[in-house]
Amino acid sequence: MSQSLLLLEVTCPNCRSLLTRGQHVPLGIHCVETGEDGEIRLSALFGDYAVETDLVIAEGATAEFWCPFCEQSLMVDTACKLCEAPLASLNLQGGGSIEFCSRRGCRGHALGGFGDLDEMIELLNRMFKIPHD
């Protein structure tokens, strides 16, 4: 494993539990189309869009995410800049938050899915503890 991999330590905005497990972020998922609940594992690696889930979610379908500890919804009242589906939000242990799209197949889907370059640079600075001048 390369040391340059960026591992995101994310926490629940409601109960503050650390959600990152190894290189994954396991979350609860509710498929809006089928009404089924299941589990999803997002990659905790910055910029890695891989997801694993036991639910069948059609490409383009949307899902709701919830915290496996407190079972509160992680959905926020903001729409994805790319596809306008609702976003889910997680807190970062170093401060701030990270949002991702709830639509399967959208580039905003996984944790690294930023639409905003400034936001990404700010996050990188924080992760490498680069002081602001």
Q: Which residues bind Zn ion (CB under 5 A)?
A: 12, 14-15, 67, 69-70, 80, 82-83, 85, 101, 103, 106, 108
**Least Å from the CB of residue 130 to Zn ion:** 29
Helical H segments across the chain, by residue range: 117-127
19 contacts: CB under 8 Å, gap ≥ 6: 10, 11, 12, 25, 26, 27, 67, 68, 69, 90
Judged by beta carbon, residue 105 or residue 125, the one nearer Zn ion is 105
Judged by beta carbon, residue 25 or residue 67, the one nearer Zn ion is 67
Task: Give the Cα separation of 59 and 31 in Å (integer).
Answer: 12
**Least Å from the CB of residue 73 to Zn ion:** 10
**Least Å from the CB of residue 102 to Zn ion:** 7
Judged by beta carbon, residue 63 or residue 67, the one nearer Zn ion is 67
**Least Å from the CB of residue 68 to Zn ion:** 8
